[in-house]
Amino acid sequence: MEAKGLTPILNVSDIAATVAWFEKWGWNKLWDWGTPPTFGAVGSGKETRIFLCQGAQGGRGRGPNTTTFQRDGDEAGDQGVWMSVWVDDVDAMHKHCVAAGLEITFPPTNMPWNVREMHLRHPDGHVFRVGRGIEQKSSTVSKIKAHVKKITERKAPGSKGKSSKRKS
């Protein structure tokens, strides 16, 4: 068996309010179904989709906790779904979410598993771990050394930037 895709379904208390929440985050409404709508979808980019179901298909529930990953056990307070969302720039996303008035429960932090992440909480208790992988320092140092070696091999001493290799 080979899966061709995966679309999570979030149990939400209000489809329209949830779509508006995702739009503040930069996502788009894709479609909704019913009058009034009780099922719908939001998306980001070409591939990322989340279905929304009002009052069914999974759990939801905001806990009494105001943070995640900051106090012992606070990550267990919410009854909603936790998801990882991968982005290019966690800090830029953090600024965007703060400006949009969205609830951040964990600020951008470099985690020991080499991911920089922040947590964003939906009003129904769903938590989004917004992250980006980070390179280990040894890997970065190795890349810098390889780049410097490559540059120094191309330039002869005193050549003022001209290549030391002669054309035949």
Number of CB atoms found within 10 A of residue 32's CB: 18
Q: Are strands 82-86 and 127-133 parallel, antiparallel or unpaired?
A: parallel
Number of CB atoms found within 10 A of residue 160's CB: 6
Confidence (pLDDT) at 137: 60
Report how far apart, in Å, the C-alpha atoms of 21 and of each of 63, 97, 121 are: 19, 10, 10
Delineate the domains of the chain, giving CATH numbers in brackets: 1-58 (3.30.720.120), 60-147 (3.10.180.10)
Mean pLDDT by 10 residues, the chain (168 residues): 90 96 96 95 94 88 78 75 93 97 96 95 93 75 63 57 47
Confidence (pLDDT) at 4: 86
pTM: 0.74
